Amino acid sequence: MKHTFKVTFLILIIFLLTQFMGIFILYNYIDHSQGVSEGKTVFKDLPFGERPQLKEQTSYLPIILALLIGTGILFLLIKYQFFLLWKLWYLMAVILSLTISLGIFIQPLYAFFLSLFFGLWKVFRPNVLIHNFTEIFVYGGLAAIFVPVFNLWSINILLLLISVYDMYAVWKSKHMVFLAKSQAKANIFAGLLIPYSKHHLSLKMDKSNRKKEKGRTALLGGGDIGFPLIFTGVVLHSFGVWQSLIIPIFSGAALFLLLIKGNKDKFYPAMPFITLGCWLGLAVIWLISYFLGL
């Protein structure tokens, strides 16, 4: 096993919570009355800002380009140790995403100030509890931004390209491993962190304990959470609610198998496995729809 069963179980539970919370957030951003009149899914405006104006058929191209540019900028920030700038960049992304997510529960202005509070806590006084709690909501906000610019074709192409990139970045160039370790070291990690010890609540790792079992921390990158959620969101507006609920079951099962079959001291690209889970879930949806005549 990649991790202990307890840690594996926690990763899977938080992953699924994030996926289902994302579905709930996306569903509440759908304008159902306008959608009925127009005969298609219509999304409400965001609390502030606008979604990127991208063509659904080719939206994967600028997303991939932005990912590569963002990775390059991150390398420069790490190389020249611009950690404050890095934290501010991360803080802005967290506040934006949380505000969009919390905006379905409370007034946008209140959502902003609450997101500011949690964002500052998460970035400047990090601990595992607040970090993972906010992660459950962050990706729903990101999905509310990007899901409307995709269709089934473009999101499948995006998952394919991301999976290939993930394999190259982990197994070949290994720069994704370097980035993950650098983020954890700088206490600015986008993704889930599950410590092995219940007393190990700070994101900071004691150098003397790094090689000890009690000092280990399990990581799951933000892309491994966000991209399958965007795929699920596209299924939501392309098919419906019950169909979208199927996808996390299969993407979660794929993640679980990876964690069960993986070796403890090896890094693995999770996206190829999660992508296969998403595609299997989509195939099941098509089969159910075919046999039910939907």
> CA triplet 15, 96, 54: central angle to 5 degrees?
90
Report pLDDT for 122.
94
Report pLDDT for 208.
42
* Distance, CA of 75 to CA of 86 (rounded, Å): 10
Q: In the chain, which stretches have pLDDT less than 70?
A: 198-215
Tokens of 242: 């019950």
Report pLDDT for 32.
87
**pTM across the whole model:** 0.92
* Residues 31 and 43 sit within 8 Å (Cβ to Cβ): yes
Report pLDDT for 23.
98
Q: Measured between alpha carbons, how far is residue 21 from residues 26, 141, 255 in Å?
A: 9, 10, 18
| DSSP 8-class letter at 114 | H
Report pLDDT for 207.
42
Report pLDDT for 204.
53
